[in-house]
Amino acid sequence: MTVLKELEVALGVRSYEICIGTGILADCGGRIANLVKGRQAAVITDSNVGPLHARTVQESLEQQGFAVTVVTIPAGESSKSWQQAEQILTVLLEQKFHRDSCVIALGGGVVGDLAGFVASVYQRGIAFFQIPTSLLAQVDSSVGGKVAVNHALGKNMIGAFYQPRLVLIDLDTLQTLEQRHWQNGLAEVVKYGVIYDAAFFHDLQTHSAAILRRDVAISAEMIARCCQLKAEVVALDETEGGVRAKLNYGHTIGHGLELAGHYQGYLHGEAVAVGMVLAARYAAQSGMCDPAVEAEIKALLQQFQLPVQVDKALALDEIVNGMLLDKKVQDGQLVFILPEAIGHVKIVKGIPQDVIADLLREELHA
């Protein structure tokens, strides 16, 4: 195992480390064993990641004396469901998991959110570990404790803030990630630059070709920078009362697009990419930022071969309805994160839904 970076998410007694490196899966057992009393673990993974990595994790845990149950769910957003959570809970009950047992998420954002949700409710909460294997999960969803399942009436509507005990990021797992999923994660990477860090945004512009072809050293730096930013924000505002909301840049329209496509069209990051461009356009049209801001964001996303336009096959009313089901709607009013410049965004409440519907209509008829 080579550890390249260790970061802390500072949350008092619930503080935890993010460990970034290579060869980590094969050594995960020792690190997990140090943080739990029991020696019973459920590794939750999916049908894509399980065949590649579950055995390595299982063997490492068994070397530390763990009894390991591997639960493999079908890959894809539709697994982030109440029904799937119930099935996993049934396995934990059948296997007599107790309060000192633990749940380990081995996979991308769907697995992390679902496994974390299960850990948060099983016997009122048992220890939970994140081993994210997709770029999106490594730079965003594995850090910060947002766990949830989807409901037919909205994404992530049933969930909790429930922090992991440790996040183990093994960069080797990215080698087998499909290119589309690499690009999907890059949307969340661009987001950090727009919302907090202009210098990081410009580094992404400078190294975009190397990042797209997954240069190992540059990608490792990029992932560590994102985790650092996320750790700082979560430490400041764990439950999204303020600054953490900025991490939702591009997500209101993005969730509308995902829901309108019944999670079969855009991947999450792809939908967020389109949402970030449209939010920047709205900011420019309402005089909050220079139009060049939208152009710069759009150009970088295009460099990363991400979509920047709304899929014309989607229905306007379904996108709007999807947006209105978002958790960021307050008293029927949309809340948007809007850029003032690269590196600075503002939380703006009370945006009329008609204005956003007009923006989407123009896109659909362009």
- Residues that bind ligand GLY in the complex, under the rule CB under 6 A: 140-141, 144, 146, 244, 247
Strands (E), the chain: 2-9, 16-22, 40-46, 67-73, 102-107, 127-132, 146-151, 154-161, 166-170, 334-341, 344-351
CB of 114 to ligand GLY, least distance (A): 15
The answer to whether residue 178 is catalytic is no
Residue 146 or 225: which CB sits closer to ligand GLY? Answer: 146
CB of 276 to ligand GLY, least distance (A): 13
Catalytic residue among 244, 246, 298, 328: 244
d(CA 294, CA 74): 37
| Chain centre distance of CA 235 | 17
Residue 25 or 231: which CB sits closer to ligand GLY? Answer: 231
Q: Which residue has the tokens 């003032």?
A: 340
d(CA 226, CA 142): 12
The answer to whether residue 230 is catalytic is yes
The answer to whether residue 96 is catalytic is no
Residue 244 or 328: which CB sits closer to ligand GLY? Answer: 244
d(CA 281, CA 261): 22
Residue 224 or 229: which CB sits closer to ligand GLY? Answer: 229
The answer to whether residue 39 is catalytic is no
Catalytic residue among 80, 146, 225, 246: 146
Residue 194 or 247: which CB sits closer to ligand GLY? Answer: 247
Residue facing ligand GLY at closest CB distance: 247
Catalytic residue among 31, 53, 80, 268: 268
The answer to whether residue 244 is catalytic is yes
Question: Is 128 exposed, middle or buried, given 0-12, 13-18 or 19+ CB atoms closer than 10 A?
Answer: buried
State how far the alpha carbon of 89 is from the alpha carbons of 43, 122, 130, 174, in Å.
13, 7, 18, 29
The answer to whether residue 363 is catalytic is no
Cα within 13 Å of Cα(83), Cβ side: 7
CB of 277 to ligand GLY, least distance (A): 18
CB of 77 to ligand GLY, least distance (A): 15
State how far the alpha carbon of 103 is from the alpha carbons of 93, 168, 291, in Å.
13, 14, 47
Q: Do 59 and 28 touch, CB atoms closer than 8 A?
A: no
Catalytic residue among 191, 230, 281, 298: 230
CB of 96 to ligand GLY, least distance (A): 33
The answer to whether residue 294 is catalytic is no
Residue 50 or 109: which CB sits closer to ligand GLY? Answer: 109
Catalytic residue among 188, 238, 296, 363: 188
The answer to whether residue 151 is catalytic is no
**Amino acid at position 288, single letter:** M
Q: For the beta carbon of residue 313, count every other beta carbon within 10 angstroms.
A: 9
The answer to whether residue 124 is catalytic is yes
The answer to whether residue 240 is catalytic is yes
d(CA 326, CA 208): 32
CB of 140 to ligand GLY, least distance (A): 5
Active-site positions?
Answer: 124, 146, 188, 230, 240, 244, 248, 251, 255, 268
